[in-house]
Amino acid sequence: MLIPPPAHAQEQPAAPKEGAVAETKEDAAEERAAQFVGVRGPEAESVPGGALMLGAYAIVWALLFLYLMRMRGLQRNTAEELERLSAEIRASGGS
């Protein structure tokens, strides 16, 4: 049976040798992460898969809808322009 190595996280930090300078360094070090804790259980990371999937399908339908609306607008503008030009031609006596 293998003997597990001692955990480094449990080791005590070395005592500061110099007064004021060492104290400043210790304050800065306290702001950073001092330990890593492993997850105990099935959930290592929780990313909402259902929400991501719904978002993806919503994007597909929304983009298709917007594109259809854009194409409808384009067709309507062309039809209106054509109608206006036809009226101008009739007014100017053309065939």
Partner 1 sequence: MTRPDQSGSSTVWSLTSFATLALFGATLYAIFVVAPVEQQMGIVQKIFYFHVPSAYAMYIGFGVSAIGSAVYLLKRDPKWDALGVAGAEVGSLFCLIVLLTGPLWARKAWGVWWTWDPRLTTTLLAGMIFAAYLSLRSMGNAGEVEKRFAAGLALFGVIDLPLIHYSVQRWRGVHPTVITGKGGGLESEMYWALGLSFIAFTGLAVLLIWARASAERQREQTAKLRFELMHR
- The contact set with partner 1 (CB under 8 A) reads 45, 47, 49-50, 52-53, 55-57, 59-60, 63-64, 67-68, 71-72, 74-75, 78, 81-82, 85, 88-89, 92
Rank residues 21 and 71 by Cβ distance to partner 1 and give the closer one: 71
Rounded to whole angstroms, the Cα distance separating 92 from 84 reads 12
Whether the Cβ atoms of residue 16 and residue 22 lie closer than 8 Å to each other: yes
Calculated CA dihedral for residues 29, 30, 33, 37, nearest 10 degrees: 130
Of 22 and 74, CB closest to partner 1: 74
- Rounded to whole angstroms, the Cα distance separating 93 from 73 reads 30
CB of 32 to partner 1, least distance (A): 23
Toward partner 1, which CB reaches closer, 21 or 85? 85
